[in-house]
Amino acid sequence: MKQYFIKYPRNFNNEYSLRWAEKNSAEAAEAIESGYEPITRKAAIEKCSAERWARKNDQSFSGYGDAIIMPYGFDGGESEAREQLTTSDGYIYE
């Protein structure tokens, strides 16, 4: 079962990173230690959806948050994730 995380690096509501890790794994513990906060799957997908909407309709305040949820520890950005990882729902990349 996956656990989802969000991190606000500079305390701006529109600037965040979304990650997932297997629940009770070493990656999940490391994510919490590095400043990520646990959130629900629904909240993570809502953040992605809101960012995608903003990128289409409000470009001046968009582009700072993730529009996809990547595995914790994946170092690439969104374009690399889309090239290297797979998704079944368009939001969560594995």
**Helices (runs of H) and strands (runs of E) counted in the chain:** 3, 4
Average pLDDT of 3-23? 91
Average pLDDT score, the chain: 90
Closest alpha carbon to 44 in 11, 9, 76, 70? 70
Q: Is residue 47 assigned to a domain?
A: yes
61-74: pLDDT as tens digits: 788 888 999 999 98
Question: Within 13 Å of residue 79, how many CA atoms lie on the same side as its CB?
Answer: 1
31-40: pLDDT as tens digits: 999 999 999 9
> Into how many domains does the chain fold?
1
Q: Is residue 89 assigned to a domain?
A: no
Which residues form the domain of 30?
A: 2-84
Closest alpha carbon to 1 in 20, 17, 16? 20
Structure tokens given for 42: 């629904």
Q: Is residue 54 assigned to a domain?
A: yes
